């Protein structure tokens, strides 16, 4: 498998990949977009930093591509939507530069508090401006942290060591986590109003773009200090420039910008109380070595069929959870396939319900497995995997709903897949794992209890509940040399319709199915393919 390294990463990461069996490493640093398109045609993985753009055109031509790895956090240079459509995993390394970025943020905070930059510059110019360069202290000040992920948490820890008061805004921050970090959880408006210092550590999204704008500065104290070492665009640049010029903001520090490199004529370059650095967040020897090795290991593991780490467009599963979930993933895929083949009419929605102990796990991978199984018979020759299955389901206009239920069931764990047609026709199949071997079983079909293994070929028959049906099935299948490995029967009321599911060694010919359908005692006969 060919791995393209388009931007320079740590030599240790490159060497790691070169030592793996079955990999061919192509180093193509500084390639033009046209060259990247040509090289990508037969690669299995691409590794980048921030320089090379992996566009939709790359995903269109790279038919062998399985993964794109970013040695760093931001994936602005990767078309994640296009990757998802093509079933390509996009991964980053959020932990590798955590300390480097947190320390740079604190460096900016210190430089924004004490006039270090101006002092160093004036000393080189032969000046002695001691009386002009009065600063302030961090101790006793309130730091507002917007975004309390890995980096935000590390900044908060350092601020507490400097005896600052720390408040944090993060929609996903729990009370327990805030208590653990010894900080106060606040709403966004409160963070703006209380901050003496404000630092942002959020991803750049539609919701966070320009989250610190003119209205935000109007809520802040006079003399506040503001810092951004996360992503350009979170702080509105024009609003910050005006706030610095007016004195509303006493000092600021930026490592990231809306447009990079920062244009030579940008007004920021003329503002004295603003410290600028050229996107140095991950620029330490330790961080570059860490992210280079981490992304190399992650790409290698994915290509070898192992766990997926730090994926942007699909859930990353902890190895311990993966071991526990693995048998359920196969069951879910088979339930999804069975449900599609049982559905009547055009399917508008799929409802997936989880019961029992399994609700304690992250069920997103299981939901994706159901979707992949549902699509297995309709995707044609297109690449289908856990990455693009939800996209393809959505593209078909099917709404997927998941429920973790506390309702009592007869099994330790139970998974139900219900399809709802445009005409509100519902079909449901339920499954579980039995025994120490975690053997998959279908245990209910449309409300009728039954126990059948979801093997590759199932014959599903609905028939009048009367003597002789089993004999007919055996005779018709026997005449075409199709062996019944197992047969499961279920009925509602005596004399009404019954359900029969046969596990077959081979798929019966169309003539056998037609003979079953033509029988007046059989309402439905179909083959359900699970393989």
User: Up-side HSE of residue 142: CA atoms within 13 Å toward CB?
Assistant: 18
Contact (Cβ atoms closer than 8 angstroms) between residue 84 and residue 104 = no
| CA 332 – CA 192 distance, rounded (Å) | 47
Q: Where does the chain hold its CATH 3.30.70.260 domain(s)?
A: 455-531
Contact (Cβ atoms closer than 8 angstroms) between residue 500 and residue 471 = no
pLDDT in tens, 321-364: 777 788 899 999 999 999 999 998 889 999 999 999 899 888 88
The one catalytic residue among 137, 163, 260, 323: 260
Tokens representing 307? Answer: 């766990």
98-276 carries CATH number 3.40.50.720? yes
Per-residue confidence (pLDDT) for residue 465, from 0 to 100: 87
**What SS3 class is residue 442?**
strand
Residue 499 has pLDDT above 80, yes or no: yes
Q: Which CATH number fits domain 2-95+287-303: 3.40.50.300, 3.40.50.1000, 3.40.50.12500, 3.40.50.720?
A: 3.40.50.720
> Do β-strands 142-146 and 165-169 pair in parallel, antiparallel, or remain unpaired?
parallel
Is there a catalytic annotation at residue 108? no
Is there a catalytic annotation at residue 279? yes
Q: Where does the chain hold its CATH 3.40.50.720 domain(s)?
A: 2-95+287-303, 98-276
| Residue 109 falls in which region: left (phi positive, over 0), alpha (psi -120 to 50) or beta | alpha
More confident residue, 397 or 235: 235
Per-residue confidence (pLDDT) for residue 120, from 0 to 100: 95
pLDDT in tens, 218-269: 999 999 999 999 999 999 999 999 999 999 999 999 999 999 999 999 999 9
Rg of the chain over all Cα atoms, to the nearest angstrom: 30
* Phi then psi dihedrals of residue 353, to 5 deg: -115, 140
Tokens representing 124? Answer: 């080189």
Q: What is the DSSP string of 76-143?
A: TTB-HHHHHHTT-EEE--TTTTHHHHHHHHHHHHHHTTS-HHHHHHHHHTT---GGG-----STT-EE
Q: What fold, for 455-531?
A: Alpha-Beta Plaits (3.30.70)
User: Up-side HSE of residue 180: CA atoms within 13 Å toward CB?
Assistant: 8
Q: Where does the chain hold its CATH 3.30.1330.90 domain(s)?
A: 315-453
Q: What is the DSSP letter of 218?
A: H
User: Spelled out in words, what is the top-level CATH class assigned to the domain 315-453?
Assistant: alpha beta
Per-residue confidence (pLDDT) for residue 531, from 0 to 100: 60
User: Up-side HSE of residue 1: CA atoms within 13 Å toward CB?
Assistant: 22
> Do β-strands 457-464 and 448-452 pair in parallel, antiparallel, or remain unpaired?
unpaired
pLDDT in tens, 142-184: 999 999 988 999 999 999 999 999 999 998 888 989 999 999 9
The one catalytic residue among 49, 201, 225, 231: 231
More confident residue, 311 or 530: 311
Is there a catalytic annotation at residue 231? yes
Contact (Cβ atoms closer than 8 angstroms) between residue 121 and residue 132 = no
Whole-angstrom CA distances from 276 to 67, 105, 223, 271 are 35, 12, 19, 10
The one catalytic residue among 49, 279, 309, 368: 279
* Phi then psi dihedrals of residue 401, to 5 deg: -125, 135
Residue 381 has pLDDT above 50, yes or no: no
Per-residue confidence (pLDDT) for residue 495, from 0 to 100: 54
pLDDT in tens, 47-105: 999 899 999 999 999 999 999 999 988 888 999 999 998 999 999 998 888 999 999 99
Reference 296, options 34, 2, 55, 12; nearest CA is: 12
Residue 479 has pLDDT above 70, yes or no: yes
| CA 291 – CA 97 distance, rounded (Å) | 7
Structure pTM? 0.66
Look over the chain and give the mean of its residue pLDDT values, rounded to a whole number. 92
Please state, for a pLDDT cut of 90, what percent of the chain lies above it: 76
């Amino acid at each position: 498998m060919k791995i393209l390294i388009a931007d320079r990463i740590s030599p240790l990461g490159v060497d790691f990949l070169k030592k793996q069996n079955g990999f061919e490493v192509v180093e193509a640093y500084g390639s033009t977009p046209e060259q990247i398109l040509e090289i990508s045609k037969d690669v299995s993985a691409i590794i980048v930093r921030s320089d090379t753009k992996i566009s939709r055109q790359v995903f269109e031509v790279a038919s062998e591509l399985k993964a794109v790895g970013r040695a760093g956090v931001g994936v602005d240079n990767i078309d994640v939507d296009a990757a998802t459509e093509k079933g390509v995993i996009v991964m980053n390394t959020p932990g590798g530069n955590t300390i480097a970025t947190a320390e740079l943020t604190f460096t900016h905070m210190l430089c924004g508090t004490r006039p270090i930059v101006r002092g160093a510059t004036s000393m080189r110019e032969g000046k002695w401006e001691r009386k002009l360069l009065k600063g302030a202290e961090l101790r006793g000040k309130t730091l507002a942290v917007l975004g309390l992920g890995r980096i935000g948490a590390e900044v908060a820890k350092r601020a507490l060591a400097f005896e600052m008061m720390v408040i944090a805004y993060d929609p996903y921050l729990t009370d327990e986590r805030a208590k653990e970090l010894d900080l106060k959880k606040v709403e966004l408006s409160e963070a703006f109003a209380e901050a003496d210092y404000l630092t942002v550590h959020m991803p750049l999204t539609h919701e966070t773009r320009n989250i610190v704008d003119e209205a935000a500065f109007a809520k802040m104290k006079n003399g506040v200090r503001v810092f951004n070492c996360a992503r350009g665009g979170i702080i509105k640049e024009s609003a910050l420039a005006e706030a610095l010029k007016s004195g509303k903001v006493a000092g600021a520090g930026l490592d990231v910008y809306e447009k990079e490199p920062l244009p030579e004529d940008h007004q920021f370059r003329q503002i004295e109380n603003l410290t600028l650095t050229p996107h140095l967040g991950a620029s330490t020897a330790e961080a570059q070595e860490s992210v280079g090795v981490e992304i190399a290991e992650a790409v290698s593991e994915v290509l070898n069929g192992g766990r997926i780490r730090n994926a942007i467009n699909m859930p990353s599963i902890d190895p311990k959870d993966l071991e526990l979930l693995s048998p359920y993933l196969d069951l879910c895929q088979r339930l999804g396939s069975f449900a599609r083949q049982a559905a009547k009419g055009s399917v508008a929605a799929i409802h997936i319900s989880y019961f029992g102990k399994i609700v304690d796990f992250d069920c997103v991978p299981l939901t994706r497995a159901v979707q992949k199984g549902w699509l297995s018979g309709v995707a044609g020759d297109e690449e289908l995997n856990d990455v693009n299955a939800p996209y393809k389901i959505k593209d078909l206009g099917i709404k997927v709903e998941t429920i973790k239920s506390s309702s009592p069931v007869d099994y330790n764990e139970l998974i139900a897949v219900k399809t709802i047609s445009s005409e509100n026709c519902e079909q449901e199949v339920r499954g579980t794992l039995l025994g120490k071997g975690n053997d998959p079983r279908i245990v209910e079909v449309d409300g009728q209890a039954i126990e059948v293994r979801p093997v590759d070929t199932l014959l599903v028959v609905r028939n009048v509940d009367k003597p002789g049906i089993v004999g007919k099935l055996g005779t018709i299948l026997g005449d075409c040399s199709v062996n019944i490995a197992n047969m499961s029967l279920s009925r509602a009321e005596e004399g009404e319709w019954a359900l029969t599911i046969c596990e077959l060694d081979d798929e019966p010919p169309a003539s056998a199915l037609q003979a079953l359908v033509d029988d007046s005692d059989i309402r439905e006969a179909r083959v359900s393919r699970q393989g």
